[in-house]
Amino acid sequence: MSRLKYDYIVIEGNIGTGKTSLASKIARDFDTRLILERFADNPFLPKFYENQSRYAFPLELSFLADRYSQLKNDLTNPELFHQQTVSDYLLNKSLIFASITLKDHELELYQKLFNIINPNLPKPELLVYLHKDVPKLKQNIRKRGREYEANIKDDYLEKLEKGYWDFFKAQPGMKILIVDSNQLDFVNNDKDYRKIIDLLEKEYPHGLHRF
């Protein structure tokens, strides 16, 4: 395949939408730099799902620090052989998750820290959000078999979905594609994957675009 139309694309979505799989496939096919969230190395994540009230603040802080460090390093250091970038997360997801898990005084402090570091990062030229209904998300979560995700509640996934939508509505200066992926299997079905690629090849005005 040829060069992507946009030099910096972010694939986002709720837990279990397949954003990492899609980002990895696009990066491989178009030979771009790939930035993947390093959630597996976070020692607070399994503890959070066991006791959210106790571990929410250290979890969100550790994610914010790691995401910022990774994005700052990767996005500000050009690679000779990879001039385009595909990532499976946006730093703003940190604030979306924190707004759900943190208490008022914790969230206030977290917001201050986020506002200090967020302006220092390049913004994606195109943000693609993969939407899936909660039953589909739960099916994918069960399929990948991460033990610490086994007890994720439906209302938590619903709150995350609303958090993303609230964020999108407040971003008139971004190009955001909302893709209903309930009936798409872009990993195993080349036609479905091609539908996503076709969307990435179009020019969009700023704002929300639903497909």
Q: Which residue among 88, 104, 155, 185 is the active-site one?
A: 88
> What pLDDT is recorded for position 125?
96
| All structural domains of the chain with their residue ranges | 8-210
Question: Which is more confidently placed, 81 or 140?
Answer: 140
pLDDT band at residue 40 under the 50/70/90 scheme: low
Interhelix angle 93-101/104-117, rounded to 10 degrees, is 170
Instruction: List, as one string, the DSSP characters of 23-44.
Output: HHHHHHHHT-EEE---GGG-TH
Q: What is the pTM of this model?
A: 0.90
The CATH number of the structural domain formed by 8-210 is 3.40.50.300
> What pLDDT is recorded for position 146?
80
Bridge partners (DSSP) of residue 81 are none
Average pLDDT, the chain: 91
pLDDT in tens, 119-175: 989 999 999 999 999 999 999 998 887 877 878 889 999 999 999 999 999 998 999
pLDDT band at residue 49 under the 50/70/90 scheme: confident
Write 187-191 long-range contacts (CB < 8 A, 24+): 187/18, 187/21, 187/22, 187/25
Q: Tell me whether residue 178 is exposed, middle or buried, using C-beta atoms within 10 angstroms of its C-beta: 0 to 12, 13 to 18, 19 or more.
A: middle
> What pLDDT is recorded for position 133?
96
Give how far Cα 203 sits from Cα of 69, 128, 172, 178, 179, Å.
Answer: 31, 13, 16, 15, 16
> What pLDDT is recorded for position 90?
95
The reply to whether 88 belongs to the active site is: yes
Q: Is 60 exceeded by the pLDDT of residue 8? A: yes
The C-alpha atoms of residue 204 and residue 187 are separated, in whole angstroms, by 25
Percent of the chain, pLDDT > 90? 77
* Averaged pLDDT for residues 26-43: 88
